[in-house]
């Protein structure tokens, strides 16, 4: 299978290549794609070298699937051109997520919705993906009324520039800044741009995408998203109010059975999910499972995942795997 990776030289693009290799996706020819300035650079994949091409050159090479991770502008311009050429696009930007004509897919949650008509498929926001994987089986069992989520997000979610800023600050060096403030030894309650309602775009993504993925606009969601000086994964404190009451042991059992989830919940032995434990893993880790004692039928969870893997690259590759399994590529 010919596979194009658009944005192959970026943080998420590089991770997509790693995940494709690790999961033995049936790549017969890799087409690494980037901007004009990266054209001709060499990318190594499974011991072979491939030259970076431009998006237009990639379309002419007719891959079956194109995994996009090159930002919203690139996706808006080129995803339709790939689709028109009969190439299935899995897009990691926010460009198509809330388009009512496009599916927003987390394979373990709503992968059954995919059909042969879907030529541009949206990959959700990283912080949304890890949360909905945990919410889905609980919603099926107890029906969720409301979710309150606060995130603690890794600098890797911003990209190479942010990682460099953190490392420069830690080393006492001056350098280019990805954030308006220092991130080392600091917490910035601001991810993406502020909207007219006082929420950031990241917070609104979590709210709107959760409803769309779970297919239920009655679920009320509110979010506060925060950048912290950490690498390896995003963490979330999630408070869930249900219509029906629950048993904590049953909750743990339901989560343990959910595909793509690992329960790490043993406070007596100080076992709980942390970003360093999630780093390099494809699963979502969940722990600190406890009843909210201030309100009936309400649960508290702590959810952690590698944002470059399940939050981006792995989810995109899993979508491609599902399309292949269904014979849609």
Catalytic residue list: 126, 234
The C-alpha atoms of residue 112 and residue 149 are separated, in whole angstroms, by: 27
pLDDT digits (tens, 9 = 90+) for 183-211: 999 999 999 999 999 999 999 999 999 99
Q: Which CATH number fits domain 127-307: 3.40.47.10, 3.50.50.60, 3.40.50.720, 3.30.360.10?
A: 3.30.360.10
Smallest Cα–Cα separation from 105: which of 87, 116, 86, 92?
92
Query: Mind listing the pLDDT tens digit of every residue in the chain (329 residues)?
Result: 999 999 999 989 999 999 999 999 999 999 999 988 889 999 999 999 999 999 999 999 999 999 999 999 999 999 999 999 999 999 999 999 999 999 999 999 999 999 999 999 999 999 999 999 999 999 999 999 999 999 999 999 999 999 999 999 999 999 999 999 999 999 999 999 999 999 999 999 999 999 999 999 999 999 999 999 999 899 999 999 999 999 999 999 999 999 999 999 999 999 999 999 999 999 999 999 999 999 999 999 999 999 999 999 999 999 999 999 999 99
Residue 310 DSSP class: I
- pTM, two decimals, is 0.96
3-class DSSP assignment, residue 227: strand
Count other Cβ atoms within 10 Å, centred on residue 9.
19
Q: Pairing relation of β-strands 234-242 and 88-91?
A: unpaired
Cβ proximity of 116 and 328 under 8 Å: yes
Task: Compute the CA torsion angle 155, 160, 161, 163 (nearest 10 deg).
Answer: 40
Domain ranges of the chain: 2-123+312-325, 127-307
CA atoms within 13 A on the CB side of 138: 34
Provide the mean pLDDT of the chain.
97
Q: Which residues contact 208 (CB under 8 A, 6 or more apart)?
A: 98
CATH code assigned to 2-123+312-325: 3.40.50.720
Q: Kindly report the backbone phi and psi dihedral angles of residue 249, in degrees, each rounded to the nearest multiple of 5, phi listed first.
A: -65, -35
Residue 3 DSSP class: E
In this predicted structure, what is the pLDDT of residue 37? 87
Secondary structure E strands in 195-315: 220-224, 234-242, 261-263, 284-291, 298-305
């Amino acid at each position: 299978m010919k596979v194009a990776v658009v944005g192959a030289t970026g943080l998420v693009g590089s991770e997509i290549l790693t995940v494709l290799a690790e999961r033995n996706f049936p790549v017969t020819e890799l087409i690494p794609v980037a901007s004009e300035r990266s054209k001709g650079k060499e990318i190594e994949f499974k011991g072979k070298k491939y030259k970076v091409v431009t998006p237009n050159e990639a379309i002419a090479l007719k891959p079956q699937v194109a995994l996009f991770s090159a930002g919203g502008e690139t996706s808006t311009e080129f995803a339709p051109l790939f689709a028109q050429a009969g190439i299935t696009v899995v897009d990691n930007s926010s460009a198509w997520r809330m388009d009512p004509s496009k599916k927003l897919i987390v394979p373990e949650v709503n992968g059954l919705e995919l059909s042969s008509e879907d030529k541009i498929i949206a990959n959700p926001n990283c912080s949304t993906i890890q949360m909905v994987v945990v919410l889905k089986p609980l919603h099926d069992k107890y029906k969720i009324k409301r979710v309150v989520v606060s995130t603690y997000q890794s600098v890797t979610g911003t990209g190479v520039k942010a990682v460099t800023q953190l490392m420069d600050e830690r080393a006492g060096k001056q350098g280019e800044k990805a954030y308006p403030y220092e991130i080392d030894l600091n917490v910035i309650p601001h991810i993406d741009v502020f909207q007219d309602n006082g929420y950031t775009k990241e917070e609104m993504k979590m709210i709107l995408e959760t409803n769309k993925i779970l297919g239920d606009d009655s679920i009320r969601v509110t979010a506060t998203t925060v950048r912290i000086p950490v690498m390896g994964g995003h963490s979330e404190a999630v408070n869930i109010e249900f219509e029906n009451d629950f048993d904590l042991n049953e909750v743990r059992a339901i989560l343990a059975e959910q595909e793509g989830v690992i329960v790490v919940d043993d406070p007596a032995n100080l076992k709980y999910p942390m970003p360093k434990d999630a780093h390099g893993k494809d699963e979502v880790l969940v722990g600190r499972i406890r009843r909210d004692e201030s309100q009936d039928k309400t649960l508290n969870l702590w959810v952690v995942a590698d944002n470059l893997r399940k939050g981006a690259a792995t989810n995109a590759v899993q979508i491609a795997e599902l399309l292949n399994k269904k014979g849609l590529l």
